[in-house]
Amino acid sequence: MLGSRFTTLLTIRGERTEPERVLSAQTIDAASLSEFTVRGEGYSAVVVTVRATYDASATSGVRVRWLYSPDNTNFDSPEDAEDAGNYENLTFSAGATRQRTITIPLMQKYTKVQIVNLDSSYAVKVSAWKVLMR
């Protein structure tokens, strides 16, 4: 009996949504960003997979940054989010395609996920998917 309860708890904790494509081969201009907001009510984390294709002349890569908000209006500033460590950088190689999966804890009702092009001269092509986890 104890074993079946334990198994049930593991099953419940592992619930997740189907992957949703939130960006599809979107071009992000130099020193710009693209973003989407996750409503995290009832979920504990969002798993974001980002795929970036860099220009052959690019010198910098892509940053995934997340900002929290209790009301979908007042979000953390990018500076404070980065100071708190709320970002991950994809690896970079000019002309290459890189992909990274990041688990983001949902600390507030709303979380804005920003895909930031750190290159000041060249655009980057980005696709992204999200999965919500209970």
Q: Which H or E run includes 7?
A: helix 2-13
28 and 115 in contact (C-beta within 8 Å)?
yes
**Mean pLDDT throughout 26-39?**
98
CA–CA separation, 37 vs 132, rounded Å? 12
User: Can you give the residue range of the structural domain that contains 127?
Assistant: 16-133
Q: Does any domain span residue 11?
A: no
- Structural domain includes residue 40: yes
Mean pLDDT across the chain: 93
8-state DSSP, 101: E
Query: Does residue 24 sit in helix, strand or coil?
Result: strand
Question: Does residue 39 fall inside a structural domain?
Answer: yes
How much of the chain exceeds pLDDT 70, in percent? 90
Domain membership of residue 52 (yes or no) is yes
pLDDT at 126: 99
Q: What are phi and psi of 14, to 5 degrees?
A: -90, 5
Cα-flanking dihedrals φ and ψ of residue 13, to 5°? Answer: -65, -25
In a domain, 66, yes or no: yes
Q: In what order do the strands lie in the sheet with 33-39?
A: 33-39, 110-117, 62-69, 87-89
Q: pLDDT grade, residue 3 (50/70/90)?
A: low
CA distance 19 to 47: 9
Does any domain span residue 10? no
- The confidence band for 9, taking pLDDT boundaries of 50, 70 and 90, is very low
Report how far residue 57's alpha carbon sits from residue 82's, in angstroms, rounded to the nearest whole number. Answer: 27
In a domain, 8, yes or no: no
Residue 4 banded pLDDT, cuts 50, 70, 90: low
For residue 33, what is the domain's CATH number? 2.60.120.680
Q: Looking at the 3D structure of the chain, how many domains does it have?
A: 1
